[in-house]
Structure 1
Amino acid sequence: MSSLFPALTGAPAGRPALRFGDRSLTYGELGAVSGALAARIGGAGRVAVWATPALETAVAVVAALQAGVAAVPLNPKSGEKELGHILSDSAPSAVLAAAGDELPAALGDLERIDVDVDVRAADPLPAPLPDPQVSDEDPALVVYTSGTTGPPKGAVIPRRAIATTLDALADAWQWTADDVLVHGLPLFHVHGLVLGILGPLRRGGSVRHLGRFSTQGVARELTDGATMLFGVPTMYHRIAGALAEEPELAKALGRARLLVSGSAALPVHDHERITSATGQRVIERYGMTETLMNTSVRADGEARAGTVGVPLPGVELRLVEEDGAPIPSYDGETVGEIQVRGPNLFTEYLNRPDATTAAFTPDGWFRTGDMAVRDPDGYVRIVGRKATDLIKSGGYKIGAGEIENALLEHPGVREAAVTGEPDADLGERIVAWVVPEDPQSPPADEELADHVARRLAPHKRPRVVHHLAALPRNDMGKIMKRALRHD
C-alpha cells in the first residue's frame, strides 16, 4: 500500500505543514507527533476524533491513517442523541481529543486518548512509523451524513477514495507542494478535513486554518503568501459584501492563484461581485460524502458561474431519467439525476446493507439524488436535489436552483430559496422564500415573479412568495429546505 502522505518522510523537515492561529508544525514535527500517536493507537480498529478546528484534530486524523485505523470525525456541535447514535453505530475503541477539551456525557465510558501537541517540545526527527498491514480498500474514515431522512448514516470511505480524489484535484487545479491553502471550514466533514487538511499534506504543501472564518483573516493570509482559498457560499457571500468597505481584502483575493467554493451552489451575483472587485473568478466543484469529489471547473478551464465544471479524471458521470434511462444529449436543458461511478466512491453505509444496496444501480452507478443539466461542452449545472429541488409544474421539470439564482439577481433580494407545494391545477406550484435587502420595503410579489419570468421563462415564475428574516441553514451553510414551512 502506498502512503497517503509521502511528504511526511520525503519533504524537507523544516517545511511548514500545518498552522492554526499561532500554533504550527513543520513536516518534521508533524511526522514526530503523528508517528508517536500512531504507534499508540495501532490495532485499535476504529477511533473517534473530537473534531474541533484545532491542530490536534489534524494530527489525530493523520495518525489514525498512518496506523491503518479508521477515524470517525465527531461534530462538537452535535446533540446528545445524534452523538449517541454515531457512537453506538460506529463502536470506536477510543476517542482522540485535545488535552483539556471537555467532552459531553454522550461519550460515556469511551477511552479517551489526549492529543497533546507541544510544538516547542516536538522532536524534529520523525518517529519510526508503524507498518500497518492495510490495503487501498481498507477504511480510512467513517463520515456520518446529515440524516435528513432519518438517523445519520456512516459512509465508509476507503483509503483508495482519498488518494484518487486528491490526485484528481491536483490534476484539475494544478495543485503542487508550492501551494499554501487557507480555509476556515469545520473539520468533521470531507470538505474541511479531506480537501482542506489531507489535500495539502498529500501534496507536500501547507495549510493555514483560520480557526474561525473572517474576511480579515482571509485578507491577512492571502497577503502573507497563501495561494488558495477554500470556502462555502456563505463565506463567499460575506466576502462579496465586504469588498467595498475592505480594499485590502480585494487586493488580497486578487493575489490568490485559486479561489474554490463548494458544498452548495454559489449564487451568480456573488460570483460577479467578486470578479468585478478582484479580477478573480471563483471556481466551483461538486462532491458529497459518499463520493468525495466528482467534478470541478479546472484551473486551466473556463470559470463559468453557475456550473461545477466537468468530471474529474477517473470519474464517470451520467444523467438519467426517472426510470433510470440515460440521457445522451448535452443540450443544457434536459434535467436528469446525476449518477457517478469510479474509484472516488465509498464502499458502504456502516451496518446498513439495505441502504448500501439501494444507493447503487445494478451496474454499479451511485445514485446521488442531485439533479442537473449538461451543457454542450460537458459542463455540469446542478439545479437541485431530487427530493426537495425538482419541481414538476404544468408538465415541466423545473430545477429550483436556476430560479433561486434569478431571484438573487434582483437588487431587493438578499437571500432566496425555492420549493414546490401541491397545486390542484399545476401539480406543484413554485414557492419563493425571500430575505429582502430592506425588510421595511421588500419587493412586491408580482415584481419578483415578473423578474424571474423575464430571465428564465413564464412557467418558472414563483406563484407564492414568503418573506423571511433569515433562511434556516446547517453548519455548512446549506439551506435546510425541509424547515421551510408556512403555517
Structure 2
Amino acid sequence: MRLLNWLSESADERPDAVQINGRGVPWVELRRLAAAVADDLHGLDRVAVEAGTDLATVVGVAGALLAGTAVVPVPPDAGPRERDHLLRDSAAEAVLVPAHGKCRGDYAGRPRIPVDLTHRSDSTRPEPDPAGTALILYTSGTTGAPKGAVLSRRAVAACLDGLADAWGWTPDDLLVHGLPLFHVHGLVLGVLGPLRLGSRLHHVGRPTPERYAGAAGSLYFGVPTIWSRITAVPEAARALRSARLLVSGSAALPAAVGTDLAALTGRRVVQRYGMTETLITVSAHADGPHRPDTVGLPLPGVRTRLVDDGDVPLPADGETMGELQVCGPTLFDGYLHRPEADAASRTSDGWFRTGDVATIGPDGWHRIVGRAATDLIKSGGYRIGAGEVEDALLAHPGVREAAVVGIPDSDLGQQVTAYVVSDDVAESELIDFVARQLSAHKRPRQVRRVDALPRNALGKVQKSQLTTE
C-alpha cells in the first residue's frame, strides 16, 4: 500500500475534501497539485517546508512524499538561529515556500521552490521504498540544539494504520482540528492520516471554541489547552455532541477538563501516548472502555515495559512506577548526526528509552506519570508523581492551572513545589487541601502563584523554565 494511499488512489471529487484555514480542494485536485510539486523537486533527497497552517503546506508536504523526498518541517515562527540550525543540520537542499505571500526567512541561501496552487500535473511515479525517510522532525531536549528524529515511511504508515484500527478511522469521517503542522500531532496524525486513510479534513486555523463548534466534524483532535477553552464556552462544547470521537494528546488531560467535556458533549475523551521518536504507541479504543487517568493499550505490534534506574524490569501491577520503554514498528530510525544520543536512547536489546514515568496495570492499561527528569519527584525516600499532585490541586475551585516540580532540598532530596494560576487562595489552604486528598508526604511544601504557566506551541507546560526562575 502507498504511504498516501487515499490521495494516490481516490477518484473522489467532492469539494472541500481537504479544507485548510478557509481554503478547500477535492481529493483529485489535491493529488494534481501535489504531483506538480513532485515534478519540481527533480529527485532532491530532502527538502525543508515552511510549515504554516495553509493549503500550500499540505500540498508541499504531499508533493515531497509523492516524490520520495524527505520533509523537514520548519515552524513558521522559528527565529533566525533555530531556522538556520534546522537547515544546516538536516542538509535540506531546498525550501518549499508559498508562491504567493510573504516568505518568513532567508533560509540560509537555499533555493526556494514555490508551491503554486495554480499549477497542476497528472504525472505519476512509483511508490518509494517504505524504508526510506519520510520526515525529519526536530525535537528539543533539556540541553543542546534540537535533534532531528528520522522517521521512515514504514513507521508513519504503521502508526496511522494502528490508529485507524483503534479509533475506527475511515473515509466516512470528517476530521477537525487546529493544530500546528510541524509536529507529530498536527502533521502526521492531522494531515497524513486523512491522506492515507481517506477521512475528509477541516483545519480550522486558529483553534477557537467557536470554530471547533461550527465545523460539524465526526472526529476532533485537540490538546488540553484547546479542550479547556472549549469547556469554558458551554454552548461550543455542546455543539460537539454530534461527533463520534474526541481525541486529546501531546500532554496529559486534566481530570476536571475531561469530566466537564464529557458532561457537556456526552463523549468521553480518548487519550493516546507517543513521542516524536516513537510516533503514537499507546491509545484507548473508540469502542472500548475509557479511563480518564490512562492513555490506553499498546497499538498493534508495539511492546512496552517498565524498568528501574538500572534497566531492571518492574511489575505491571498498576502501582509500581518506572521508566516506560517501547519497541515496535513505529519507532524512528535514529537521531540525525547524533550517534551518541542515539546510542543513549536505546537499550542493548533494542528498546527505546522514552524518559517518561508510567504505571502499567495487569490488564495492560497505561498511566503516564510524566517525564522522569521533571515529573518523578524523589522526596524523603518517596517516589511522587507530579501529575497526581497537579490533579489534586486542580480539584480546588480556586485553581485554574497547576504545575508541580521537584526543587533540590538538602533534607528531602527534592521538595514538592507547586506553581498555580489561581484566585486569591492562601498557600496554606492549598497545601492542606492536597494533604486531605493524598498521602501527607505528597503535599506541596511550597505553592507559588504565577500569572501564567510557560507553554510550548502544543500547550505542554515547560517545567524547566519554572525550575530555573
What TM-score does the superposition give when structure 1 sets the normalisation length? 0.93
Cα distance in structure 2, aligned partners of 1:486 and 1:84: 27
After superposition, the Cα gap between the structure-2 partners of 1:273 and 1:48, relative to the gap in structure 1 and judged at 3 Å, is same
Cα distance in structure 2, aligned partners of 1:251 and 1:141: 37
Q: Which amino acid aligns with 2:333?
A: T
340, 351, 363: which one pairs with 2:326? Answer: 340
- The 5 Å alignment of 1:405-416 reads 405-416=391-402
Report what 1:475 is aligned to: 457
The answer (yes or no) to whether the contact 1:141–1:157 under 8 Å persists in 2 is yes
The answer (yes or no) to whether the contact 1:38–1:130 under 8 Å persists in 2 is no
418, 427, 433: which one pairs with 1:432? Answer: 418
131, 135, 141: which one pairs with 1:141? Answer: 135
What is the deviation of 1:147?
A: 3.8
The answer (yes or no) to whether the contact 1:83–1:106 under 8 Å persists in 2 is no
The answer (yes or no) to whether the contact 2:357–2:372 under 8 Å persists in 1 is yes
184, 187, 190: which one pairs with 2:184? Answer: 190
The answer (yes or no) to whether the contact 1:383–1:401 under 8 Å persists in 2 is yes
Question: Does 2:30 align with 1:30?
Answer: yes
Report what 2:244 is aligned to: 257
Question: Does 2:273 align with 1:286?
Answer: yes
Question: Does 2:69 align with 1:65?
Answer: no
SS for the counterpart of 1:417 is strand
Q: Which amino acid aligns with 1:151?
A: A
Question: Does 2:223 align with 1:232?
Answer: yes
What is the deviation of 1:304?
A: 1.2
Q: Which amino acid aligns with 2:402?
A: A
SS for the counterpart of 2:232 is helix
Q: Which amino acid aligns with 1:44?
A: L
Q: C-alpha offsets along residues 415-455 of structure 1, whole Å, 9 cap, x if unaligned?
A: 0000011222221110000110x2xxx22222212222222
Q: What is the number of residues matched between the two proteins?
A: 468
After superposition, the Cα gap between the structure-2 partners of 1:95 and 1:239, relative to the gap in structure 1 and judged at 3 Å, is same
SS for the counterpart of 2:28 is helix
- The 5 Å alignment of 1:436-455 reads 436=422, 438=423, 442-455=424-437
SS for the counterpart of 2:109 is coil
Q: Which amino acid aligns with 1:157?
A: L
SS for the counterpart of 2:215 is helix
221, 242, 261: which one pairs with 2:233? Answer: 242
What is the deviation of 1:399?
A: 1.2
Cα distance in structure 2, aligned partners of 1:361 and 1:127: 47
What is the deviation of 1:42?
A: 3.7
Question: Does 2:120 align with 1:129?
Answer: no
Q: C-alpha offsets along residues 180-207 of structure 1, whole Å, 9 cap, x if unaligned?
A: 1000000011100000011011111210
What is the deviation of 1:330?
A: 2.6
What is the deviation of 1:106?
A: 4.5
The answer (yes or no) to whether the contact 1:49–1:74 under 8 Å persists in 2 is yes
Q: Which amino acid aligns with 1:312?
A: L
Report what 2:96 is aligned to: 96
The answer (yes or no) to whether the contact 2:270–2:290 under 8 Å persists in 1 is yes
The answer (yes or no) to whether the contact 1:285–1:296 under 8 Å persists in 2 is yes
- The 5 Å alignment of 1:59-458 reads 59-118=59-118, 127-131=122-126, 134-222=128-216, 226-243=217-234, 247=235, 249-327=236-314, 329-436=315-422, 438=423, 442-458=424-440
Q: Which amino acid aligns with 2:171?
A: A
SS for the counterpart of 1:484 is helix
Q: C-alpha offsets along residues 204-254 of structure 1, whole Å, 9 cap, x if unaligned?
A: 1210001111111111102xxx101101111011011111xxx2x233211
Any unmatched runs of 5+ in structure 1? none
Q: Which amino acid aligns with 1:273?
A: D
Q: C-alpha offsets along residues 242-282 of structure 1, whole Å, 9 cap, x if unaligned?
A: 11xxx2x2332111111000000010000011111221111
Question: Does 2:12 align with 1:13?
Answer: yes
The answer (yes or no) to whether the contact 2:70–2:133 under 8 Å persists in 1 is yes
Cα distance in structure 1, aligned partners of 2:467 and 2:323: 25
What is the deviation of 1:84?
A: 1.0
The answer (yes or no) to whether the contact 2:84–2:108 under 8 Å persists in 1 is no
The answer (yes or no) to whether the contact 1:39–1:129 under 8 Å persists in 2 is no
After superposition, the Cα gap between the structure-2 partners of 1:258 and 1:55, relative to the gap in structure 1 and judged at 3 Å, is same
Q: Which amino acid aligns with 1:377?
A: D
The answer (yes or no) to whether the contact 1:144–1:154 under 8 Å persists in 2 is yes
Q: C-alpha offsets along residues 446-481 of structure 1, whole Å, 9 cap, x if unaligned?
A: 221222222221110000110001111111111111
Q: C-alpha offsets along residues 312-364 of structure 1, whole Å, 9 cap, x if unaligned?
A: 1111111111110111x232221100100001000011111111111100110
After superposition, the Cα gap between the structure-2 partners of 1:340 and 1:203, relative to the gap in structure 1 and judged at 3 Å, is same
Identity %: 52
The answer (yes or no) to whether the contact 1:35–1:130 under 8 Å persists in 2 is no
SS for the counterpart of 1:164 is helix
What is the deviation of 1:82?
A: 1.0
Cα distance in structure 2, aligned partners of 1:96 and 1:236: 32
Q: C-alpha offsets along residues 23-55 of structure 1, whole Å, 9 cap, x if unaligned?
A: 111111011111121122141110000000000
Q: C-alpha offsets along residues 54-84 of structure 1, whole Å, 9 cap, x if unaligned?
A: 0011111111111000000000111111111
Any unmatched runs of 5+ in structure 2? none
What is the deviation of 1:10?
A: 2.8
Cα distance in structure 1, aligned partners of 2:48 and 2:327: 29
* Greater displacement, 74-83 / 164-173: 74-83
The answer (yes or no) to whether the contact 1:287–1:294 under 8 Å persists in 2 is yes
What is the deviation of 1:104?
A: 4.3
What is the deviation of 1:406?
A: 1.0
Report what 2:446 is aligned to: 464
What is the deviation of 1:486?
A: 7.3
Q: Which amino acid aligns with 1:53?
A: T
Cα distance in structure 2, aligned partners of 1:179 and 1:105: 37
Cα distance in structure 2, aligned partners of 1:82 and 1:173: 36
